[in-house]
A and B are shown apart, each in its own frame.
Chain A
Amino acid sequence: AQKITQTQPGMFVQEKEAVTLDCTYDTSDPSYGLFWYKQPSSGEMIFLIYQGSYDQQNATEGRYSLNFQKARKSANLVISASQLGDSAMYFCAMREFLNTGGFKTIFGAGTRLFVKA
Chain B
Amino acid sequence: GAGVSQSPSNKVTEKGKDVELRCDPISGHTALYWYRQSLGQGLEFLIYFQGNSAPDKSGLPSDRFSAERTGGSVSTLTIQRTQQEDSAVYLCASTYGGGTYEQYFGPGTRLTVT
Q: A101-B55, A102-B50 are in contact. Are A107 and B42 (CB under 8 A)?
A: yes
When distances are taken between beta carbons in the complex, the residues of chain A under 8 Å from B102 are 35, 47, 50
Chain B interface residue count, Cβ-Cβ cutoff 8 angstroms: 25
Interchain Cβ contacts within 8 Å, total number: 64
When distances are taken between beta carbons in the complex, the residues of chain B under 8 Å from A95 are 99
Binding site secondary structure of chain A: strand
Contacting A at CB under 8 A, from B43-68, are: 43-45, 48, 50, 55-56, 59
Contact of A102 among B42, B55, B105, B108 (CB under 8 A): B55
Chain B interface residues toward A at CB < 8 A: 31, 33, 35, 41-45, 48, 50, 55-56, 59, 89, 91, 93, 98-100, 102-105, 107-108
Contact of A100 among B45, B56, B59 (CB under 8 A): B56
Task: Supply 6 A–B pairs (Cβ within 8 Å), ascending by A.
Answer: A44-B105, A45-B43, A101-B50, A102-B55, A103-B48, A105-B45
Q: Is the CB of A91 within 8 A of B43?
A: yes
When distances are taken between beta carbons in the complex, the residues of chain A under 8 Å from B42 are 91, 107-110
When distances are taken between beta carbons in the complex, the residues of chain A under 8 Å from B98 are 97, 101-103
Q: A102-B50, A104-B33 are in contact. Are A43 and B107 (CB under 8 A)?
A: yes
5 shortest interchain CB distances as A-B pairs: A100-B55, A45-B105, A107-B43, A47-B102, A107-B42
Contact of B103 among A47, A97, A108, A109 (CB under 8 A): A47
When distances are taken between beta carbons in the complex, the residues of chain A under 8 Å from B33 are 104-105
